[in-house]
Amino acid sequence: MKIAIIGGGPAGLYAAILLRKQRPQAEITVYERNRADDTFGFGVVFSDATLDNFEKCDPPSYRRITQEFAYWDDIAVHFRGAVHRVGGNGFCGCSRRKLLLILQERARELGVALRFETEIDDESRFADADLIVLADGINSRFREKHIAHFEPEVDVRSNVFAWMGSTRPLDAFTFIFQETEWGPFIAHAYQYEAGRSTWIFETDPATFKRAGLEGLNEKQSADRMAEIFGWFLKGHPLLTNRSMWRNFPMIRSKRWVKDKMVLLGDAKATAHFSIGSGTKLAMEDAIALAEAMEQAPTVDAALQKYEEGRREEVEKTQHAADVSLVWFEHVDRFWEFDPVQFAFGVMTRSKAITYDNLTLRAPDFVAEVDKAFARQVRAKGFDVDVEKPLAPMFQPMRLREMEIANRAVVSPMCMYSAREGVPTDFHLVHYGSRAIGGAGLIFTEMTCVGRDARITPGCTGLWNDEQESAWRRIVDFVHANSAAKICLQLGHAGRKGATKLMWDGMDRPLEEGGWDIVSASPIPYFPDSKMPREMDRAAMDAVKAAFVQATERGERCGFDMLELHCAHGYLLASFISPLTNQRTDEYGGSLENRLRFPLEVFEAMRSAWPTHKPMSVRISATDWAEGGITGDDAVTIARAFAEAGVDLVDVSTGQTVRDAQPVYGRMFQTPFSDQVRNEARVATMCVGNITTADQVNTILAAGRADLVALGRPHLVDPAFTLKAAAWYGAEGVFCPPQYLPGKEQIFRNSVRDRQDLEDLKIKAKPKTRAELKAEASKPLAAE
């Protein structure tokens, strides 16, 4: 077999090693345009888990690599004069040059031919090869040459960065967030061998310009960075090696294989340096390719297997990298944060590390985070314990005069079980049991302001006396039997009205018994949905009056809070999104115009709703669709509602148009809450695939939302909050007297279960290489 590998970086060399080990008879040649020891950059970083992989695949290169490594366990975050260190991370650094020399040596040893100073510009010279590996890096010529086939998507990020080095020793992966007169600069730094550390500097384009970095040469820009970070460098120089300022391109390719050619490493996909995974991905690609070549009967089948088997893992890493880079791009959002909360945000930015996870590894750090959170709550006038604070989830909050005992919320969820809009005993039990279950705040399902405002025939309403008294019964029960507050969500279905019950076909039009529907513009939801009528001013006035009447009824029911539903493609959302609003009057066109009617309705409701009671608005912070609402629009929307008197923005997303492309995942909507909260400076509630109390605490402690709503988890577990309270030892959580023996038991058992789980996790956790190295270097104790 003949294999040609274009590119002698980590991907190409490691692929050559593994393939040659597998097929000692194969003729494998690596073509590299540079000289053998001619490499840019300084260090690379691997996690312990990646090293474990290397150990399995090729022990000789693994041993040589690890001999050269610098290990560390801690991440240190420097921000506004404070340093926070978190242990247990298990990383190691190595010089990129040494890594490549080791891989070259090992490849040679195995009989791979290495052709340096050989630039390949056409694959036709390898017509007789069975496999051509395209490992030609981030600017891959071959990916570009076959662009129509590979279909790469290149997202050039806004921040600029430069990769430098220093002789400054470091004993932790170090993030420095530096305020300057021009704006924030960030250093990502780690040691990779004795006396050598990598320094990646990052800043936003405006700060870059203001700092006069544009047009400076390498030496001049290194001098400027040395001035900024001089206090930390302590006289150590900054070193350069093609350390040009650049923008990071996030690359994704639709296809990785063309005939017998296959993309590997940065050529096919990149991962942002803030999660340090570029070299890891490149070498793990090589592992995946070698495994596929071993298992599949033909090269074609192997390439298919490689792409199919590897894509998900790469996309997961890229997603984590995306989330991380966005955090760094928007670091100014958190600049006013308490340093410990800021450090918590850095640690938890890409979702892999959570509150509980950190509690295990760095209990003192989390205790400090809790204290800072409690101090903020105390500053709002609550008499909470700051010395031994409860976890953030169990800290109280106030909106106007409404106090909520904890931050867990039952998200609004239609039950499709009303009769002519009247909530039934099902609703009493449903809301009642969730209130007893300990959540601080319960939202009703979308309750419709008129018969024709309903989504389905099973939706609740609040347009007549019978409905009013049925709701009053529920509210009274909640108030009499729990500590929960209850918020009424009012809405109008718009073009998604007259549809079937969820279990009969979500959003599908009713076959019989439907009613006339209205929307901002006459665009049906599905092509075969009913055509909505475009609202004229009279219809708008009628709808506004219906919202006001329902508001007045809501007040008579005794609801503590009121939410206006402007999300998920319903009537008011249909005005806000350009995808559903094509009006040419003053209610269409600009975002300001599109917001006009929803704001009018909100203001009318606000006037009818008692001043001391809070109001929220639920928005879709993105339509997940080309040309639709974006996170930036959501900030403008939130600001507009805040000016109109909203106390909380309930940040949801999507459901505007059928062909949306949502990116699901754990806590997938939380970044939008984060953006709205920390850019519009308004309190937010986040929601969406948040399933554990650990996630709730992670979100709150990082300042990404003020309240956390859970929908589906509450459907199957009314006592979600009570159970979480037992886990975190929040004794004060409400429990009705009838259930106290259960509460006592779960609190008692939770202490033990938690201890057992922690012991198990500690025992199961393999020692990091830094720990092993420290142990090995300890003098033997005298017998």
Ligand X SMILES: Cc1cc2nc3c(=O)[nH]c(=O)nc-3n(C[C@H](O)[C@H](O)[C@H](O)COP(=O)(O)O)c2cc1C
Ligand Y SMILES: Cc1cc2nc3c(=O)[nH]c(=O)nc-3n(C[C@H](O)[C@H](O)[C@H](O)COP(=O)(O)OP(=O)(O)OC[C@H]3O[C@@H](n4cnc5c(N)ncnc54)[C@H](O)[C@@H]3O)c2cc1C
Shortest separation between residue 31's beta carbon and ligand Y, angstroms: 5
Shortest separation between residue 201's beta carbon and ligand Y, angstroms: 9
Using CB under 6 A as the binding rule, whether residue 97 contacts ligand Y is answered as no
Among 48, 58, 74, 136, binds ligand Y (CB under 6 A): 136
Among 106, 530, 565, 677, binds ligand X (CB under 6 A): 565
| Alpha-carbon separation of residue 700 from 338, 381, 601 (angstroms) | 14, 19, 31
Among 3, 4, 5, 7, binds ligand Y (CB under 6 A): 7
- Selection from ligand Y, ligand X, none that 569 binds (CB < 5 to 8 A by kind) is none
Shortest separation between residue 357's beta carbon and ligand X, angstroms: 21
The helix (run of H) or strand (run of E) holding residue 245 is none
Using CB under 6 A as the binding rule, whether residue 199 contacts ligand Y is answered as no
**Would you give the end-to-end CA distance of the chain in angstroms?**
59
Strand-pairing partners, residue 83, are 78
In angstroms, how far is CA 615 from the centroid of its own chain? Answer: 27
Among 70, 71, 107, 137, binds ligand Y (CB under 6 A): 137
Q: Which is nearer to ligand X, 74 or 706 (CB)?
A: 706
Whether the Cβ atoms of residue 686 and residue 709 lie closer than 8 Å to each other: yes
In angstroms, how far is CA 131 from the centroid of its own chain? Answer: 38
Using CB under 6 A as the binding rule, whether residue 280 contacts ligand Y is answered as yes
Strands 518-519, 533-534: pairing is parallel
Whether the Cβ atoms of residue 332 and residue 205 lie closer than 8 Å to each other: no
Q: Report the 3 state secondary structure along 423-445.
A: CCHHHHHHHHHHHHCCCCEEECC
Using CB under 6 A as the binding rule, whether residue 411 contacts ligand X is answered as yes
Mask 735-754, x = binds ligand X (CB under 6 A)? --------------------
- Selection from ligand X, ligand Y, none that 276 binds (CB < 5 to 8 A by kind) is ligand Y
Q: Which is nearer to ligand X, 174 or 406 (CB)?
A: 406
Using CB under 6 A as the binding rule, whether residue 282 contacts ligand Y is answered as yes
Neighbouring residues of 613: CB distance < 8 A, sequence distance ≥ 6: 400, 401, 402, 555, 559, 560, 561, 562
Interface stretch with ligand X, choices 119-127, 196-204, 411-419, 723-731 (CB under 6 A): 411-419
Looking at residue 3, its amino acid is I
| Alpha-carbon separation of residue 379 from 386, 397, 398, 744 (angstroms) | 11, 11, 12, 32
Using CB under 6 A as the binding rule, whether residue 654 contacts ligand Y is answered as no
> Taking CB positions, which residue lies at the least distance from ligand X?
711
Interface stretch with ligand Y, choices 136-144, 177-185, 373-381, 720-728 (CB under 6 A): 136-144
Among 125, 658, 712, 765, binds ligand X (CB under 6 A): 712
- Selection from ligand X, ligand Y, none that 671 binds (CB < 5 to 8 A by kind) is none
Looking at residue 78, its amino acid is H
How does DSSP assign 557-619, residue by residue? HT-SEEEEEE-TTSHHHHHH-TTT----STTSSSHHHHHHHHHHHHHHHHHHS-TTS-EEEEE
Shortest separation between residue 328's beta carbon and ligand Y, angstroms: 13
Interface stretch with ligand Y, choices 26-34, 51-59, 380-388, 409-417 (CB under 6 A): 26-34
Using CB under 6 A as the binding rule, whether residue 694 contacts ligand X is answered as no
Shortest separation between residue 188's beta carbon and ligand Y, angstroms: 8
Using CB under 6 A as the binding rule, whether residue 689 contacts ligand X is answered as yes
Using CB under 6 A as the binding rule, whether residue 204 contacts ligand Y is answered as no
- Selection from ligand X, ligand Y, none that 34 binds (CB < 5 to 8 A by kind) is ligand Y
User: How far apart, in whole angstroms, are the C-alpha atoms of residue 119 and residue 131?
Assistant: 18
Among 21, 23, 33, 85, binds ligand Y (CB under 6 A): 33
512 backbone dihedrals φ, ψ, rounded to 5°:
-145, 160
Interface stretch with ligand Y, choices 135-143, 347-355, 374-382, 522-530 (CB under 6 A): 135-143
The stretches of 146-204 forming alpha helices (DSSP H) are: 147-150
Residue ranges in 418-447 that form contacts with ligand X under rule CB under 6 A: 445-446
Using CB under 6 A as the binding rule, whether residue 119 contacts ligand Y is answered as yes
Q: Which is nearer to ligand X, 133 or 690 (CB)?
A: 690
Using CB under 6 A as the binding rule, whether residue 711 contacts ligand X is answered as yes
Whether the Cβ atoms of residue 246 and residue 162 lie closer than 8 Å to each other: yes
The stretches of 130-255 forming alpha helices (DSSP H) are: 141-145, 147-150, 205-210, 218-228, 230-233
- Selection from ligand X, ligand Y, none that 278 binds (CB < 5 to 8 A by kind) is ligand Y
Interface stretch with ligand X, choices 62-70, 74-82, 298-306, 409-417 (CB under 6 A): 409-417
The stretches of 349-481 forming alpha helices (DSSP H) are: 355-361, 363-379, 425-436, 465-481
Residue with tokens 């928005």: 619
User: How far apart, in whole angstroms, are the C-alpha atoms of residue 10 and residue 13?
Assistant: 5
User: How far apart, in whole angstroms, are the C-alpha atoms of residue 76 and residue 87?
Assistant: 9
- Selection from ligand X, ligand Y, none that 662 binds (CB < 5 to 8 A by kind) is none
Using CB under 6 A as the binding rule, whether residue 501 contacts ligand X is answered as no
Using CB under 6 A as the binding rule, whether residue 685 contacts ligand X is answered as no
Comparing CA positions, the residue from 313, 307, 354 lying closest to residue 53 is: 313
Interface stretch with ligand X, choices 26-34, 372-380, 632-640, 683-691 (CB under 6 A): 683-691
Active site residues: 570
- Selection from ligand X, ligand Y, none that 726 binds (CB < 5 to 8 A by kind) is none
- Selection from ligand Y, ligand X, none that 45 binds (CB < 5 to 8 A by kind) is ligand Y
Using CB under 6 A as the binding rule, whether residue 413 contacts ligand X is answered as yes
Using CB under 6 A as the binding rule, whether residue 457 contacts ligand Y is answered as no
Comparing CA positions, the residue from 156, 158, 157, 176 lying closest to residue 166 is: 176
Residue with tokens 């956790």: 765
User: How far apart, in whole angstroms, are the C-alpha atoms of residue 713 and residue 486?
Assistant: 18
Which 8-state DSSP code applies to residue 461?
B
Neighbouring residues of 772: CB distance < 8 A, sequence distance ≥ 6: none
Q: Which is nearer to ligand Y, 274 or 670 (CB)?
A: 274
Shortest separation between residue 85's beta carbon and ligand Y, angstroms: 20
Residue ranges in 244-273 that form contacts with ligand Y under rule CB under 6 A: 265-267, 273
139 burial level (CB within 10 Å; 0-12, 13-18, 19+):
exposed
The set of long-range contacts for 288-292, using a CB threshold of 8 Å and a minimum separation of 24, is 288/313, 289/15, 289/18, 289/19, 289/133, 289/262, 289/264, 290/15, 290/18, 290/19, 290/21, 290/22, 290/57
Q: Which is nearer to ligand Y, 100 or 483 (CB)?
A: 100
Shortest separation between residue 431's beta carbon and ligand X, angstroms: 13
Shortest separation between residue 304's beta carbon and ligand Y, angstroms: 21
Binding-site size, ligand X (CB under 6 A): 20
Q: Which is nearer to ligand X, 78 or 485 (CB)?
A: 485
Shortest separation between residue 506's beta carbon and ligand X, angstroms: 9
Whether the Cβ atoms of residue 192 and residue 43 lie closer than 8 Å to each other: yes
Strands 707-710, 27-31: pairing is unpaired
Using CB under 6 A as the binding rule, whether residue 460 contacts ligand X is answered as no
| Alpha-carbon separation of residue 657 from 150, 159, 340, 629 (angstroms) | 29, 32, 41, 11
Using CB under 6 A as the binding rule, whether residue 143 contacts ligand Y is answered as no
Among 19, 490, 566, 687, binds ligand X (CB under 6 A): 687
Among 152, 165, 389, 412, binds ligand X (CB under 6 A): 412
Shortest separation between residue 690's beta carbon and ligand X, angstroms: 6
Q: Which residues would be at the binding site for ligand X (CB under 6 A)?
A: 411-414, 445-446, 489, 502, 565, 567, 618, 652, 687-690, 710-713
Q: Which residues would be at the binding site for ligand Y (CB under 6 A)?
A: 6-12, 31-34, 44-45, 119-120, 135-138, 141, 161, 163, 200, 265-267, 273, 276-280, 282
